[in-house]
Structure 1
């Protein structure tokens, strides 16, 4: 039984997240022809400026779905082989045995065994994933640092491997998606950013979505508050930030409306072919950066909703900002939710994030948004 949208229920669920400690959040939920947009809280804690549902936002790893779709388009045109070793395309970046063992598919679904570059680019995060021994200093140090993609790739490729290529349990690593950017560049003869803009963002008719080239977010947007597990108190605004540190793995700016449009078209077979979409929905177990085992496809994550079937989409976080976008397999029910505070959980004595009221309030909002 499909649930119609209940605006009062959705508004209450959003207000509850704000009351639990989230400065501001905004969302769009769709059910067939019905559309609900809502917002709660503030975009700027200093001025009290409210958030609005049309704001542009940094959406983090949702970028990966756009990058994966672009690669799948090139697979369809015969320029890239999904199970071809990456060393055939990028022998200098992934040399010798590893280049022969790691396929394009393993990069997209995080089973390459390549390490995460971030603790090497951001030295205060060196202890990741041991959160208690990390610190936020590198975020301030690198606010305006312009990284080159190949320099970050080299950090990840030369770091100790986190698994064998194609092993039974993948490990989430942004290094994989920066390599996919280099691969797109190699086969298309244009920059990966230009290719994705033309063939994914513009093809989907997304008018407020872009891969940024400078540190500011253009257009109406919220400030983005990072708490780094209580080590930044009060949370600091990182909305102005050079996003070259994450590039095609996490730099996208979008709106909740554009995200729903994109995932709706993707699941309808309008961005990649139905056979490519089926490949994207083949999942493997992957250890996330939070240390949880998740199911991950080719840039897509599944979420089960009781009695409603499977939703597909992605979520992401950057410094201070986060988003989750999920669309039911039949395309009828959709939700996109954006928040302007990250890593609100404080750590216990063993370094594990402690439960926070925001966690339960957000989970309740997701439930209402997905199935009422």
Structure 2
């Protein structure tokens, strides 16, 4: 659901979890670059129950894991783990929207009202571009929910949410940007609306379109949009949430299985490090979008955030710019970034302990992976 949720979740310190280092997978085409495993161990020690990563550097591939796959065990995190990728889903959906723009089915300057009449107040003044780059001002439905560490959040675990229900919760709140397009305001509702617009434009669900246009052509064997299915199939670490049941410290509760309709079009994706690296390779190489639309994708909506149309970017300590996205699916958090030339790729996923925000530790890992 995005890193902003982590600030709401991490309201108290959770007791430390000891991370048990796992040896990196060694294959003939792979190498453990000096210190990379140690850097991943540092991530797990600082912020995670478990961590898994894949780093690509030219023809070299390194895969490693650290920590444990399940609390109370010494079971290593599988290097081919699947995990909930959170808001990286937004980059997949944005790619589909831009493919529809290329085909003439949609225009970036189409209004929300023209596709979803009467759904969003003043929707005639909000464009698809503004939904994509989070400048629409439409309230984030996430903020209407009871959030962790409240135990009431667990009541949502098996509930099926419809897109209409989430949108209605959001539009009952006032706009956060006036006028639309003038400021950045991150809202999961933007992509819930885009999912509904894709359905109107194609006659198919956003999940079917992502599957048909991206997952199957790229042969992303570990990637799916699970809909309301609560399980993560295949190898995967367990994910946890802090729950405050008493005045004592919050306890970590296993939240691996849950109904991902809560995330919907903005965050339901399940994937793996290898598949996400493959996806961003195809996106940056021009296999999914023509150059002029990829240029639109990497154009910031405002000068205050490095965020374009479902794509963000960051600069490493050695000056290499990385494009990609990060995702917060509550009990799983992930980052996937690639250099524009495709030479450097890093995907890392963690199951957080919520002791502290993981961004600093992950940034150190990204810099180590790219800069050495």
**TM-score under structure 1 length normalisation:** 0.86
Range 308-317 or range 108-117, more displaced: 308-317
SS at match of 2:305: strand
> Is the alpha carbon distance of 1:228 and 1:324 closer, same or farther for their aligned partners in structure 2, counting shifts above 3 Å?
farther
- Whether 1:107 and 2:118 are equivalent positions in the alignment is no
With over 3 angstroms needed to count, the CA separation of the structure-2 counterparts of 1:66 and 1:360, relative to structure 1, is closer
Change (3 A) 1:135 1:39: closer
| Counterpart-to-counterpart distance in 1, 2:128 and 2:120 | 12
- The CA distance in 1 between the partners of 2:158 and 2:70, in whole Å, is 21
Residue by residue, what CA displacement relative to the aligned partner does 1:283-331 show, whole Å, maximum 9, x if unpaired? 1348xxxxxx632100000111244431100001112100000000111
Q: 1:228 to 1:69 in 2, by over 3 A?
A: farther
Q: 1:342 Cα deviation (Å)?
A: 5.4
Q: Does 1:78 align with 2:104?
A: yes
Structure 2 matches for 1:286-301, cutoff 5 A? Answer: 294-301=305-312
Are the equivalent residues in 1 in contact too, given 2:85–2:328 (CA < 8 A)?
A: yes
Alignment correspondent of 1:366: 366
Give the aligned partner of residue 63 of structure 2: 37
Alignment of 1:277-288 (within 5 A): 277-285=294-302
How far 1:228 moved relative to its partner?
6.8
User: 2:320 maps to what in 1?
Assistant: 309
Q: Relative to structure 2, which stretch is displaced further, 245-254 or 11-20?
A: 11-20
The Cα shift of 1:47 comes to 2.3
Which residues of structure 1 form unaligned runs of 5+? Answer: 126-133, 287-292, 346-355
State the SS of the aligned residue for 2:296.
helix
Match among 218, 227, 233 for residue 233 of structure 2: 218
| Whole-angstrom distance in 1 between the partners of 2:289 and 2:305 | 24
1:328 aligned partner: 339
Alignment RMSD? 2.1
Q: Secondary structure at the match of 2:363?
A: helix
How many angstroms apart in 1 are the aligned matches of 2:131 and 2:338? Answer: 24
- 2:87 aligned counterpart, secondary structure: helix
Match in the other structure for 2:267: 250
For these two proteins, the number of residue pairs brought into alignment is 340
Unaligned stretches of 5+ in structure 2? 1-29
Instruction: Decide whether aligned partners of structure 1 residues 143 and 90 sit closer, same or farther in structure 2, where only a CA change above 3 A counts.
Output: same
